[in-house]
Structure 1
């Protein structure tokens, strides 16, 4: 589908009854129930890998093999980010306070401002792929539609011409962007608990830099940061890129009913249990957007119910392989930047 496609609600779906019927099927299958055993095991494993990674930095010490540990920790940081995501959606704990505490701990572990990210992600879920309402399609660096390309100025205008080719190289900056955006958000007076987020962010950065300079020579510490943060960014971007990029873009008054808004702007990625682990269950993006509080291990079972329901409604349910999802996302980026490539260069 074109990145400039729009979605229009079905007149018969205005009441939202289609989603109500689906919700009853999902609830009857028990798929909204918490999975404490699963999350206890997952948290234990990820926390163990996190501690082991930093212990390995200390054991390897003044050796360029520490860069291999940096690559390992990049993956671990990605897994911690996915746990923070699940906690924020109350997939782990039903109560808000427990969810916020666990989410903030996980966010602090990777240098992410929990309050900033939760606000941004909540707005994304409410209006996925909507040009004016979804912060994930703001043209701050890349342009996501041809209308954005025509209005682009500065860096987006410069990058937008060849953004499909630059997309994966730019992901190396995504880890740094996560930290910078988290810090910038602390200047926003409306951010809830910003003092707490500020303390946690400062503590993370101070401890991160102190440990590296204590264990490694300055040059090696800089190389460690570069490898660790760049690969962390690539991993994060590779997890989130297949989900909505290349799917229809909404704009203006385009407001389909909830079911269609979530299904038609999302894409699933086929794969087995390894894909579920690597992508944190977000490969079942359609189900996640329809039922964001559903524990991630239940999403695979929900997929069968949701897909059948969409088929009964004649509703497009998009599912591709992982490589194809990247190809579609890059093709969409290339198409979105077309007006910039065809624009007359001023003399």
Structure 2
């Protein structure tokens, strides 16, 4: 109990807003839900999800020696409404989590520091740290560790931090005292379900990634399916709609974590500027951002969809410049965007 108390204090000192402990055997039902989700094809072309399913299904599947899982949450709650630019057609909307520093790098550094402390505090134990890059069921484990619950939008919800928590995990060979799982407090609320522009929730607590704007703008590599282009609006990287409408956000104080303060150039970037990016300028603009990993091709593709939805004739020039882009996905999106702008000009 004493080491668990000290662990929480050290985690708080390092910048973590929430700490919970679960046994490695926690959330056994998560593996079965994962298998059914994969069998239904809801992962789209995220083939690694299927390839790593058995390791992802339980902590012991990834590391047989693990006894306890320490789940850490870091708040990135925004200070202002994340949906405020939805009606600004000349700008692109970037998900709140990607407007600051790359959370992978920031949280990994903190996790390693906490892991080193834990090894020093309990010599002989072994640890592994993970932040969204390994086959770990972070959300079910975080719920089992008492950080919150998986809401009807399938993301974590915290009574203190709303829907705005980055999650990280430390697997350890220590037997640490476990926290009680958090009860589901969504009740009869369906705001996240009805807010989704693309109807990505076939049922509460179930997400079809193939219809999710976050998946389409980040993970999906090819052309955006036509049925989702208009609903995407001006969202060019991720989507916060289902998170932003959650009533529990009213209890969340804006994050003061400087690492995740929004960069001015990412809060409301002009589509015309982004459409003009080449590979070199793309890397320069998004240096240190998680956006960098999707590459210029996917970002410009997304911006072309937003331009086509804008009704802004001033964007016809930047769009036309991409009609012959060597990337066929960009060229096709440019053709579509030009057609939409022409159609809007005729009405």
Same fold by TM (over 0.5)? no
Quick one: higher RCO (CA 8 Å, sep 6+), 1 or 2? 1
Name the one with the larger helix percent: 1
Identify the TM-score tier after normalising by the shorter chain.
Answer: under 0.3
TM-score of the superposed pair, with normalisation by structure 2: 0.28
TM-score of the superposed pair, with normalisation by structure 1: 0.28
Name the one with the larger strand percent: 2
